[in-house]
Amino acid sequence: MKELWKLSAREAVSLLKRKKVSPLELIDAAAARIEATNPKINAFVTLCYDRARAHAKRLMKKKPAGKLPPHYLYGLPIGVKDGTDVEGVRTTSGSRIYKDRIAPSSDVVVQRLEANGAIVIGKTNLPEFAAGGNTFNDVFGATLNPWDVTKSASGSSGGTAAALAAGQVWLATGGDFGGSIRTPSSFNSITGLRPSPGMVPRTSKQPFSPLSVEGPMARDVADTALFFDCEAGWHPLDPLSQVGPHPSFSKAAARPVKPRRIGFSTDLGIARAVDKEVRAVSKAAAEKLGRSGVKVEEAHPDLADAEKTFHTLRGAVFIARHGELMKQYRHLYKPEIIGNLEMGLALKPEDIVAAEIAQGEIIRRVAKWFESYDALLCPVITCPPFDVKLRYPTHVDGVALEGYMGYLVLTCAITATACPVVSLPGGFTKGGLPVGLQLVGPPRSEARLLSMAAWVEACLDVSPKTPIDPR
């Protein structure tokens, strides 16, 4: 009981359900672990223990009105990414513009999680406005990687991933546009799901694009599925949200399914360069799956135009998110976001329409490819965790990259497909740094994908496992 932080989320929820521990005890356990580790990694940036304890006391007194869902969390403490509003809690989005902002109400995903028995204990760090693959900002500074505190935790859900890897919480929220769930999961050797658009309802000031999604992050596939059960569903404020009922994702993860045939690629035919150790770890994982009876073939869908399409549509989203705000606060923005906005403003209407049509073609092309394959396996990111003092890698394997997102091409391209994808631990470099794998499934296949991911996770059996003490 002295090391509750080492439990899986499922184990912790089981103890809560059987009243072997109380929500207040788990809040205290999380608080103690945060106190012990956060000075080393800076994963949590705002804590709301008073709010959490008040919430816990209400839950402990409340008698259920009816039968609770099987995925109910019974007062499990969670972290929420600092770009997501929690009522009455400071929410900055990592920007000096909002450094003193208190959220007037909770985002729909937080409302959903709290309705399913989660208790928010604090906010996790992210890059300014969640832009860029390295978690640092001028409000809170950088989040450091628990596997090596001189390295980046990636981003934008870097605070969430580092907090999970260090055992500060059992579950925490993420969001993914160009890889913001997947790349931090890779760098911190945890698990994250980028679901199909609309699976997790969300509201934000941007076009109703299939690019940006909310999703669960945890330490393994089964905990990720449990959290996803709590997030997924329909909401009237999100026209992309999916009317259920959805299958039980927890049950799917509890029934591992061996993929029959998967396509494997280290570069998806589009990456200018992939680090040698990332290639080696990815190939070793694919070979292990092959030895376990999976038919693994060097194959991938045609994604030749995916990167360009992604960046065009992303530019349009940046106009909606930052166009008006930047007129007043340009001096408070980091240069990368200014560059993204200027790229968006330079687009012509016909460029955006052409990109939307192109994405439709990509989605249909990839769906057709999945008629022959159960899944696609590839690296999450083209390089291992890099020096946290770098804003972003400019070269990979000695090859110069284009733009500050050049090293993120493997996640950006998959975003354009609108397919669900799980980021799984794949292994480690010779220096002990994590390397993650993307396991991509056909459109709207989250339940089967989680079943396959559970099988792949067990087959690869990557050790050491989280949570770890920051080193």
Residues annotated as part of the active site? 81, 156, 180
Determine the distance from the C-alpha atom of residue 414 to the mean position of all C-alpha atoms in its chain, rounded to a whole number: 14
CB-CB neighbours of 299 under 10 Å: 15
Cβ neighbours for 78, distance < 8 A, ≥ 6 positions apart: 113, 118, 119, 120, 121, 169, 170, 171, 172, 173
- The first and second tokens of residue 460, run together, are 């690869």
Strand 141-142 relative to strand 136-137, pairing: antiparallel
CA dist 347 and 209 (Å) reads 17
CA dist 400 and 443 (Å) reads 33
Distances, alpha carbon 115 to alpha carbons 64, 72, 106, in Å: 11, 9, 12
Beta carbons of 439 and 452 less than 8 angstroms apart: yes
Give helix 306-329 / helix 349-369 axis angle, nearest 10°: 140
Cβ neighbours for 199, distance < 8 A, ≥ 6 positions apart: 213, 228, 231, 232, 241, 242, 246, 420, 446
Query: At residue 228, what are phi and psi to the nearest 5 degrees?
Result: -65, -40
Query: At residue 70, what are phi and psi to the nearest 5 degrees?
Result: -65, -20
CA dist 165 and 365 (Å) reads 36
